[in-house]
Every structure is written in C-alpha cells, then in structure tokens.
Structure 1
Amino acid sequence: MKIGVPIEIKNNENRVGMTPSGVFELTKRNHAVYVQKDAGFNSGFFDEDYIKAGASILNTIEEVYEAADMIVKVKEPIEKEYTLIKPHHTVFTYFHFASSEPLTKAMVDSKAVCIAYETVEAEDGSLPLLIPMSEVAGRMSIQQGAKYLEKPIKGRGILLGGVPGVPPAKVLVLGAGVVGYQAAKMAAGLGAYVIIMDINMKALRYVSDSMPNNVISEFSSEYNIRKHIKDADLIIGGVLIKGAKAPKLITKDMLKDMRPGTVIVDVAVDQGGCFETTKPTTHEEPTYIIDDVVHYSVANMPGAVPYTSTMALTNVTLPYVIKLAEEGWEKACESSTALAKGLNVVNGKIVYKEIAEAFNLEFEMA
C-alpha cells in the first residue's frame, strides 16, 4: 500500500503522524511511505531519518495526498485539506467529528473512508489510541493551569502547592477517566488539594485506593459541582462520551459563583467541551476571560510537547496502520472489531451513530 504522512497544518500543531521507526516497520513489509518535507521537524525527526527508514520525501502536501492510498495524520483535516481528500483515500487520524459539522459534511462529500483514532475501541471498552494523548493532556492541564493561575496572566496569584504556612491551591477535576486521573496525579504531586468527581463508582474507588491523601473522590452531581466551584482555584474538565459531544457540566451562570482569577481548563474541547463557555483556542492565543474567569481550551494540547506526544501516539497506532496496510480497510475492519468501531464515515455515509445524532444527519450501519 502507499501511505502518506503530511505536515500537520492546524495552528501550532507540531506532532507528526508517524516516526521514522514506524516508517521502517512499513517499508520492510514492502509498503511505500511518502512523507512531506520537514513533516517531522518540529517533533525532532528529520528528513534524513525518514529516508534512512525507507520513506520517499515529497515537497508539498498536494503531492503526498496524490501519491497515497492511506493518509496517516494526527489531527482532523482543516478546510485547506478538504479538497485533497478523494474517494480512494483511507484517512486515519483524530477526527472528533461530533464537534464540527463542517468537517463531518466535508468528509461525507469526499466519499473517503474515515477511521477515527478516538473511537477505535478494545474489547474491554477502552480507547487504546486515545489513552496516550489523554495521558499527555491530563498532565499538561495541571502544568498549564498552574501557569495561568499566576497574577500577570490574570489568574488568582496562587502557587499550586503552596509553601509552609500557606495552604495550597484547591483543584477540582471533573471526570475520573484517563484525563482526570492523570490531572489529579500531577496536581497531587505538586502538593495541591484535589477533589476528583465522577458518576462512575468503580473509577472513584480506584482513585481512592491509589491516590495520596491530598486527593479526595466525590460523586459528581450538579449540587456538588456548584458547591466546589465557589472556592476552587483551578478546575479541570476531563469528561468523555465516546464519539459524542461532551456534557455541559459547568454553565455560564456558574461563573458568577467562582472567585475572580479562577482558571478553568477544558480538556474535552475536542468533543465540544464540558463547560458552556468553552470555545476552541490555540497555543498562539490559549486563553480568554469571561466574568473574570480565565478559560484555557486549546484543542490540541499535546501538540505543545510533540516529541513525547508523537512517540506515544505511534506506539499505539502503528499496529493498526500495519493491519490496514496489509489487509486494506475492509478486511482489516472485518477481522478487527476495534478497528471496525473506528469507522466514522464510509463512502459518503455516516456509520457512527453518535456523530449522526449530533447534527441530525442520516446514519447507516457499516
């Protein structure tokens, strides 16, 4: 198969779809890999590394799409790429369709096969291609939140872990999944007082059993959320519903109950966000302020640490890329229920129910 790895052109997206190591695993199986010139540069991988691994370097994104049968990316195609995607393409990337109707309709119109990393689902219900980026984003949410709590950036002026004689910041984490767990772990390590909330008692029991004493688990309800936002310094939104829009757990009217300079970080922004006032931002302009509350909602947080993120992503995507290359998308999805659940759009049809429901569009079984 011919596989294309283009440069990511989303704002400040520094990751790349495949490492030289991944390219080598494909070329030794006699697949052709076309990498756009400098595609890996911002992740610390250079053209000569890809050439040594057996890739061909092409100068433009148009050449990569034209040469390839399968496109392996990191982030969803943006508008400039829509017309490059043709019916013969299989596109394997993070799509997050439920947060963008224009993207959904563009991929339907392309008649390509769109397989989304975020809905590939293992037998145990886990999302193996989302987990490593959720781990990165969860940890980064605390790193970024701590920075934006600083007064020069309009935060409350609080050091997350406090100092002797001064209490630490209070961190409220909504969701005890991968994002929330990693966020709580990082916040606890820095010495913050952490409340983590979820409606999944199994997840809360795991938190209680594995976290240090400065992390408290609590069942999530609107009443409890409204109680804790009044004195929380940093609030992390990490709620995920597979393939669907995130629920709005913090509404605009709740902002007035927060103290000026409170920071809220919405890691669920790719799925529409779990705060009503969330709007996607970029690493270039990561924050905005509403009612004196600092909002951070960068839609590609792991793109700020591209070396770590690209390595972690390729570790989990490569086996699926190899399977798709060896068998083609139809046979690969027939033999792998995990990959089959990754099918979102096929030949002009939406085949993932939650995406169709998000925009009242027609749904067809794959």
Structure 2
Amino acid sequence: MRIGVPREIKADEYRVGLTPAGVRELTDRGHSLFVETGCAEGIGFTDQDYREAGAEVLGGAAEVFARAQLIVKVKEPQASEYGLLTPEHLLFTFLHLAPEPELTRALMDSGASCLAYETVTDERGGLPLLAPMSEVAGRLATQAGAHHLELHQGGRGILLGGVPGVPPAQVTIIGGGVVGAQAAQMAVGLGAKVTLLDKSLPRLRELDERFTGRVSCEYATRESLERALPHTDLLIGAVLVAGAAAPKLLSAEQVGQLPSGAVLVDVAIDQGGCFATSRATTHGKPTYVEQGVVHYCVANIPSAAARTATLALTHATLPYIQALAESGLEALSHNPGLARGLNVHAGRVTHPAVAQSLGHELLPVDSVSL
C-alpha cells in the first residue's frame, strides 16, 4: 500500500505520524512510504533519516495526500487539509470528533474512511493507542501545573513539594484512568499531597494498593469535590468517555471556589473540556485567568515532549498501521478493536458516541461494506 506521512500543521504540534524506524518496518514489508519534507525536524529526525528508511520525501502535503492511500497523522486534519482528502483515502489519526461538528462534516463530505486512534480498543476494552499519549499528558499535566504555580507565571507562588517546615501543595485529580494515575505518580514523586477522585471502586482499590497510602483515593461525589476545592492548589481534570464529549464536572461558580492563584489543568480539552470555564489554548499561549484561577487547557499537551511522544505513539500504532497497509478496510473484519476506531466512512458517522454527541444518524460499523 502507499502510505503518506504529512507534516503536522496544528499550532505548536511537533509530533509526527511515524518515526524513521516505523517507516523502515513498513518499507521492509514492501509498502511505499511518502513523507513530507521537514515533517520531523523539530524532534531531530531529518529527511535523510527517512530516505535511509526507504521513504520518498515530497515537497508538500498536497503531494503526500495525492500519492498515498493511507494517511497516517497525529492530530485531526486542519481546515487547509480538508480538501486534500478523497473517497480513496484511509485516514488514521487522533480525531476527537465529539466537540467538532465542522471537522466531522468536512470528513463526511470528503468521503474518506477515517479511523480515530482514541476509539481503537484492545481485547480487554482498553484504549491502546490513546494510552501512551495519556501517559505523557498525565505526567506533563503535573509538570505544567507545578510550573504555573510559580508566582511569575501567575500562580500562588507555591512549591509543589514544599520544604522542611512548610507544607507541600495540595493536588486534586479528578479521574483515575491512565492520565490521572500518571499525574498522581508525578505529583507524589515531587512531594505533593495528592487526592484522587473516581467513581469506580475497583479502580480506587487498585490505585490505593499501587500508591500504598501516598495518595488519598476517594469516591467522587459532588460533596467530596466541593469539599476539596478550597484547599486545592493544583486541580487536574482527567476524565474520559471514549469518543464522546467530556462531561462538565465543575460550573464557573465552583471553579471560583479554588484559591486565588490556584492552577487548573484540563487534560480533557481535546474532547471539549471537563470544566465550564475551559477553552482550548496553545503551547505558545498556554494559560489564561478566569475566576482568579490560572487555566492551562492546551489541546495537544504531549507535543511539549514531542520526541518522547512520537516514539511512544509509533510503538503503539505500528501494528495497526501494518494491518491496514496489508488489508485496507478488510483489516477491520479481522480485528473488532480496530473496527471501533472507524468514526466516519463514505459520508456517514460510524461511531455511536460521535453520532450521539453531534446528532448524526449512525451507520453501524458491522453494516459497512469492507
């Protein structure tokens, strides 16, 4: 199959769909790879690295899309890329369509078959392609929160781990999935006092055992959350409903219950955000202040560690890319988890959560002609 890897053009996005090592795995299997020039220069991979791996380096995105059947990206297509997609394309990338009606309509109009990393599942129901980015985002959420708690960043002037004689910061994490667990691990490592809220008792038991008492694992209720807010220095929203818009956990009034200069990190912003005051920001301008609280709502957090994130993502996506390259859409009939990644096909929405969130009629995946 002909596989294309364009440069990412979303603001401050430096990840790339495939590393040279991933390209080599595919070219060794007889596939043709087309890579846009400079697509990974920001993370230390040169055009020559890709050529040595067997790829043909092309001058622009239009050439890559025109030559390729399977397009491998990191982030959702931007407006200037909409017209490059055709019914002959398979698109494999993060999409996060639930809060994006315009993007969804553009993908439907293109006629392309669009698979989203974030809705692919494994045999246990996990999200194997989202997980590595969630690991990176969770760790960076704490790291970014600690940075923006500094006084000259607009924060309260609090050191996350404190010092002898001075108590550490209070970190409250909502959501005990991959993001929440990784955020807690970083916060504990920096010496913070950490409370994690979740609605799954089995998951709370698992995390309590994992952190051996270093994290207070509490059942999430409105009362437990409101009780924590006035004492929280760093609040991290880490909730996920696969494929759907993130639930709103706090109203603007509740956000205002945080201390002045506290920091709020919304890792769910790709899915619309989990706080009423959240709106997407960029790495170039990552924060704003509302209700006296510093909001960090960067929509592509892992790009801050783009080399690490690209390596981790390629390791996870490569087996699925290989399957699509070998069999095209027929690969979905052999892998139900990969089939759950199909969000849009032939002008129709094929993922239940996306269809429900945006009010589109659902075309069930099992009725798609592969």
Aligned pairs (5 A) from 1:176-215? 176-215=176-215
Secondary structure at 2:85's aligned position in 1? coil
Match of 2:43 in 1: 43
1:292 alignment partner in structure 2: 292
Report what 1:361 is aligned to. Answer: 360
Partners in 1 of 2:231 and 2:350 — Cα distance?
44
Corresponding residue SS for 2:256: helix
Measured in 2, the distance between the counterparts of 1:221 and 1:80 equals 43
Letter in 2 for 1:80: S
Q: Over residues 3-43 of structure 1, what are the superposed CA-to-partner deviations in whole Å (9 max), with x where a residue is unaligned?
A: 00000000000000000011011111111000000111112
Q: CA deviation at 1:115?
A: 0.4
Kindly provide the CA deviation profile for residues 52-101 of structure 1, in whole angstroms up to 9, marking residues without a partner as x. 01000000111001110010000000111111111100000000001211
1:267-317 per-residue CA deviation (whole Å, 9 max, x = no partner) reads 011111111111111001100110110000000011111110000000010
Report what 2:368 is aligned to.
none
Q: How does 1:1-366 map to 2 (within 5 A)?
A: 1-329=1-329, 331-366=330-365
Q: Secondary structure at the match of 1:194?
A: strand
CA shift at 1:169, angstroms? 0.1
| Aligned-CA RMSD value | 0.7
- The share of aligned pairs that are identical, in percent, is 49
Number of positions where the alignment pairs a residue of Structure 1 with one of Structure 2: 365
CA shift, 1:212, in A, is: 4.3
In structure 2, distance between residues paired with 1:215 and 1:359: 37
Letter in 1 for 2:117: Y
TM-score by length of 1: 0.99
The letter of the residue matching 2:26 is L
CA contact (8 A) 2:98 2:244 kept: yes
Q: CA deviation at 1:214?
A: 3.0
Deviation at 1:213, TM superposition (A): 3.1
- Structure 1: which 5+ residue stretches go unaligned? none
- Contact 2:177–2:238 (Cα < 8 Å) also in 1: yes
CA contact (8 A) 1:192 1:214 kept: no
Instruction: Give structure 2 stretches of 5+ with no counterpart.
Output: 366-370
CA distance in 1, matches of 2:142, 2:83: 38
Structure 1 runs (4+) greater than 3 angstroms displaced: none
Post-superposition CA distance 1:233-268 (Å, at most 9, x none): 000000000100111111111122111001000001
Counterpart residue type for residue 332 of structure 1:
A
Q: 1:305 aligns to what SS in structure 2?
A: helix
Q: 1:110 & 1:247 partners in 2: Cα distance?
A: 29
SS in 1 for 2:231: coil
Q: 2:257, 2:266 → 1: CA distance?
A: 18
- Does the 8 A contact of 1:188 with 1:212 survive in 2? no
TM-score (norm 2): 0.98
Q: Distance in 2 between matches of 1:55 and 1:352?
A: 33
| Cα deviation, residue 363, structure 1 | 1.1
Query: Conserved in 1, the CA contact under 8 Å of 2:246 and 2:272?
Result: yes
Contact 2:122 2:128 in 1 (8 A): yes
Residue 326 of structure 1 aligns with an amino acid whose one-letter code is E
